[in-house]
Amino acid sequence: MMRAILFAYGVTDKRVWVADSFAGLPPGDPEKYPLDAGSDFHTYEQLVIPLNEVQENFGTLGFLDEQTVFLPGWFRDTLPGAPIDRLALIRLDGDMYESTLDALDALYPRLSTGGFVIVDDYHVVPACQAAVFDYCARHGIRPEICEIDGVGVFWRKDATTDGDQPAEIEGVGAEDDALAERILLAMISLRKMALERMARVIALRDERIVFCQQTMSDLKEDIAQRDAHIAQRDAHIAQRDVELAAIRASMSWRITRPLRGLKQLARAIMPGGK
């Protein structure tokens, strides 16, 4: 989406860096990062999206070009030495303490003053929020955290609140600030749209669930009715069996039965006879 925004604004001198293991999240290292103890994100197969699949998606949109750079591997290995001079916007979505801290350690110093940081999981993964807090505390940064949607947050790098971070990076001007701001606004509004769509999907699913529950209860009623019919029929059959047994035991049965036998015998002896 960030690449699409650059395209939409006709920006050709900026790149999007796509950093990911493309193999899911790392197993937690609780000795080094106690807040990742118990994290089981590395077992989530739905977070394992291979590089070729992501590249194909970029390609489908025509964005698999020199403005999109992939950094496959663990953040701890790829980000510190990545050939990135400066960044207008950093979007973190690593879900873990380690992943958030590694990314901030490597990237925040390269963020232009006036640039933005978006942290996707701030309110849903406490370890992620703690990593932001620890990083900022360690560097004397007092970010003005802004809410996005109750889940993610962002803040703007500001010389007056940024502690030991370099106050200004050479060559960064108002133009970069304006672009960073436009990208941020576009991302926020798209994210809101995505959340609204998700809410609609959930409402639709709820409707379907109610419909299925109704169908289930109708079916149960049908089955109960059918069971009642079967029981009724069984009762009739049982009653007829009792009646039949009574007839068989009756005197008339004892008389008519041998007579019928005789009749059959007579027919056999005199074919055509009545």
Interatomic CA distance for residues 180 and 140, integer angstroms: 23
Question: Least Å distance between CB 13 and ligand SAM?
Answer: 24
C-beta of 104: minimal distance to ligand SAM in Å? 12
Q: How far is the CB of 46 from ligand SAM (least distance, A)?
A: 9
Contact 54, 71 (CB under 8 A): no
Least distance CB 140 / ligand SAM (angstroms): 25
Distance CA 70, CA 66 (A): 10
For ligand SAM, the closer CB: 21 or 113: 21
Q: Compute the least distance from the CB of residue 70 to ligand SAM, in Å.
A: 12
With a CB cutoff of 8 Å and minimum separation 6, the contacts of 271 are: none
For residue 157, give the amino acid letter. Answer: K
Nearer CB in complex with ligand SAM: 102/162 = 102
Q: 171 by DSSP, 3-state: which? A: coil
- Residue 215's alpha-carbon distances to 12, 78, 222, 240, in angstroms, are 56, 54, 10, 37
Residue number, 98 or 176, with CB nearest to ligand SAM = 98
Name the residue nearer to ligand SAM (CB basis): 119 or 179.
119
Cβ closest to ligand SAM, residue 102 vs residue 176 = 102
Residue type (1 letter), 141: I
Decide whether 76 or 110 has the Cβ nearer to ligand SAM. 76
Burial 108-128 (b: 16+ CB within 10 A, else e): bebbbbbbbbbbbbbbebebb
- Between 58 and 74, CB nearer to ligand SAM: 74
Min dist. Cβ of residue 47 to ligand SAM (A)? 5
Residue 88: which of 21, 8, 160, 187 has the closest Cα? Answer: 187
DSSP codes of every residue in 79-102: STT-----EEEEEE---SHHHHHH
Shortest Å distance, C-beta 158 to ligand SAM: 25
Q: Which residues bind ligand SAM (CB under 6 A)?
A: 20-21, 24-26, 47, 49, 74-75, 93-96, 98-99, 102
